[in-house]
């Protein structure tokens, strides 16, 4: 009933793979091996230290290969939050450094992002704005496509813009953003800006949700930075940041200062076991992502068809179906229409289904609907009933049958309560 489940939860079906994934058995083995055999300090010259350094080098190659980059472009971090903060910090520093070099006075750095980003992009920007250290524009997504449209993002650019950060795929709707086209357009714009003595606009994408579920190639995307999050693709809870030529082609400024590890971009004695695990998870993605994608799409589509067949098409509102937009292969965001069927209430009546109403990071927000769904134009009362089910590599059609049955009994119970 979903990989890595506790035997006590054997009758449970986990469908919250966008929140986190269980580490793959090969990943657990890689972590265990590194803990027992590569426990030395990677900066030391004795065998256990050299072994640790080899593990880290090998993992760096695997992570780079997974996203189509070079090993030297990968910086290991504690996770996606740190990687995203590092990019924002770098963009502001680079803006001020460029200003000092040219002797120009451009004013305050400006950053463009979308209205549906993860909190680890939105909140650092809001904090910088609050402190008067940056300005930010949160471009609304199109209510027709659910995407941050390229023309809308470009229209928000100012002379002081130093960074555009748009996620590769949204964690709640699964909608895939037009990052490749955006990078191409910003690149062309940068050539004109250089001639005008304006700051270069750096391009960042948070690829947390896309890796392991679809093709991710930094050459194709054309981005300067890409965020990698291990626990979203059956790896450990660390991450990495891809930087196109860190410190040379693309600026990168450390947020921490210390022992000089990770070429001083991210000092601190390396977490060898977790890095080894991340490398193994990356290998699995490189080798199998097309198989994973096809399987998850099949099961997700079966889920949506089964929901409509069981509840009736009129009663199911698909919150992630946008005309002309592609979405993640594993994500289904839908509402079961009717009074008293708020997502949280439905889940609390389920006996088997383990899922969420949206981003796990917001799970304490009560019955307020997701701001992401509201910004995509989903009506308030529909958004209140939203459930986000995200399938995994091991989810089966039999799991889906159990889940839909479970949802039907939960809704029947709530309908009965409503009638009393």
The torsion angles phi and psi of 268, rounded to 5 degrees, stand at 125, 135
Contact in structure between 139 and 156 (CB atoms under 8 Å): yes
Rounded alpha-carbon distances, angstroms, from residue 247 to 72, 94, 244: 11, 11, 9
Verify whether residue 162 is a known catalytic residue: no
Contacts of 294 (CB under 8 A, 6+ apart): 329
Phi, psi dihedral angles at 106 (to 5 degrees): -90, -20
Q: How far is it, in rounded angstroms, from Cα 314 to Cα 300?
A: 19
Alpha helices in 267-395 (DSSP H): 272-311, 343-349, 371-375, 380-384
Residue 85 and residue 255 in contact, taking contact as beta carbons nearer than 8 Å: yes
Tokens representing 163 are 């960074």
Beta bridge partners, 77, equal 239
Contact 225, 86 (CB under 8 A): no
Triad 241, 244, 250: Cα angle to 5°: 100
Question: CA torsion sign, 145 to 147 to 148 to 149?
Answer: negative
Q: Which of 92, 350, 361, 376 is catalytic?
A: 361
Rounded to whole angstroms, the Cα distance separating 265 from 75 reads 8
User: What are the catalytic residues?
Assistant: 361
């Amino acid at each position: 009933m979903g990989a890595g489940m506790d035997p006590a939860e054997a009758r449970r079906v986990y469908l919250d793979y966008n929140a986190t994934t269980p580490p793959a058995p090969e990943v657990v083995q890689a972590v265990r091996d590194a803990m027992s055999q590569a426990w030395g300090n990677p900066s030391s010259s004795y065998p256990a230290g050299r072994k640790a350094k080899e593990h880290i080098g090998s993992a760096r190659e695997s992570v780079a290969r997974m996203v189509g980059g070079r090993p030297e472009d990968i910086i290991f971090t504690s996770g996606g939050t740190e990687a995203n903060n590092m990019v924002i910090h770098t963009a502001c520093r680079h803006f001020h450094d460029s200003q000092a070099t040219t002797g120009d006075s451009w004013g305050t750095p400006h950053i463009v992002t979308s209205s549906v980003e993860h909190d680890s992009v939105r909140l650092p920007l809001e904090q910088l704005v609050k402190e008067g250290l940056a300005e930010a524009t949160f471009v609304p997504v199109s209510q027709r496509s659910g995407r941050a449209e390229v023309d809308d993002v470009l229209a928000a650019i100012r002379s002081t813009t130093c960074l555009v950060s748009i996620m590769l795929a949204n964690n709640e709707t699964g909608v895939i953003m037009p990052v490749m086209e955006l990078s191409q357009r910003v690149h062309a714009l940068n050539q004109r800006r250089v001639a005008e003595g304006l700051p270069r606009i750096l391009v960042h994408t948070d690829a947390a949700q896309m890796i392991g579920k679809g093709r991710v190639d930094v050459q194709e995307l054309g981005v300067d930075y890409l965020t990698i999050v291990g626990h979203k693709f059956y790896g450990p809870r660390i991450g990495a940041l891809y930087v196109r030529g860190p410190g040379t082609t693309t600026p990168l400024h450390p947020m921490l200062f210390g022992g000089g590890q990770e070429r001083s971009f991210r000092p601190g004695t390396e977490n060898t076991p977790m890095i080894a695990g991340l490398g193994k998870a990356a290998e699995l993605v490189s080798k199998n992502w097309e198989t994973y994608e096809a399987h998850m799409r099949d099961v997700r589509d079966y889920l949506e068809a089964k929901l409509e067949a069981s509840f009736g098409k009129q009663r199911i509102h698909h919150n992630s179906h946008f005309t002309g937009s592609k979405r993640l292969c594993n994500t289904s965001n839908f509402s079961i229409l009717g009074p008293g069927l708020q997502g949280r209430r439905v889940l609390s009546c389920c006996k088997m289904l383990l899922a969420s109403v949206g981003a796990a990071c917001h799970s304490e927000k009560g019955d307020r609907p997701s701001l992401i769904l509201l910004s995509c134009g989903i009506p308030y009362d529909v958004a209140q009933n939203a459930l986000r089910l995200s399938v995994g590599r091991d989810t089966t059609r039999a799991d889906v049958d159990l889940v839909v049955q479970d949802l039907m009994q939960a809704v029947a119970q709530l309908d009965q309560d409503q009638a009393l």
